[in-house]
Amino acid sequence: MTDQARETIPIASDHAGFELKAKVAAQLEKMGYAVQDLGAKSEDPSDYPDYAHPLAEEVSTGQAKRGILLCGSGIGVDIVANRYPHVRAALSWMPEIAELSRRHNDSNVLVIPARFVSDYEAAEIVDKWINTKFDGGRHARRVNKIDNDNVESTDQGDGNAS
């Protein structure tokens, strides 16, 4: 990745994800990405919506292509992020889930449950998520239906679970 084309990935956490966020940010930088740290800035108790909203807003408006959120369980930041149009946040506790979230759902926000994964597992999750491409095809049709409330569902199923 050249400096000129270097993608910036925003990352945010509450206090529970603070320590792991620093490790994920270092991993991203090693992989050649610029990191925008949206907080928290310490392990002092904080409220996850204060950090999830700004990151989700950046992805929703296209200021960022994708982002990473962390909190204790991952659930709180996932709920906040998925309230935004065009955000597809995926709570991923193992690399295979991160991979499927990219391949089948074109996830653009990775959510890591900091209290439930090791540093090693988090690194594997990030690596898999960053390096997996969206499959498109039948999955693109499904993803397009997420933000479009006016899509008439004529899909009778194709026998392939996602």
Q: Give the catalytic positions in this structure.
A: 71, 104
Cα–Cα distance measured from residue 114 to residue 50, given in angstroms and rounded to the nearest whole number: 17
Q: For residue 149, give the DSSP letter.
A: T
Q: Alpha-carbon distance 16 to 73, whole Å? A: 9
Spatial distance between the Cα atoms of 14 and 72, rounded to a whole number of angstroms: 8
Name every residue whose Cβ is closer than 8 Å to that of residue 2 and which is 6 or more positions away in sequence.
none
Across the beta sheet with 34-37, what order do the strands follow? 34-37, 8-13, 67-71, 109-113, 89-91
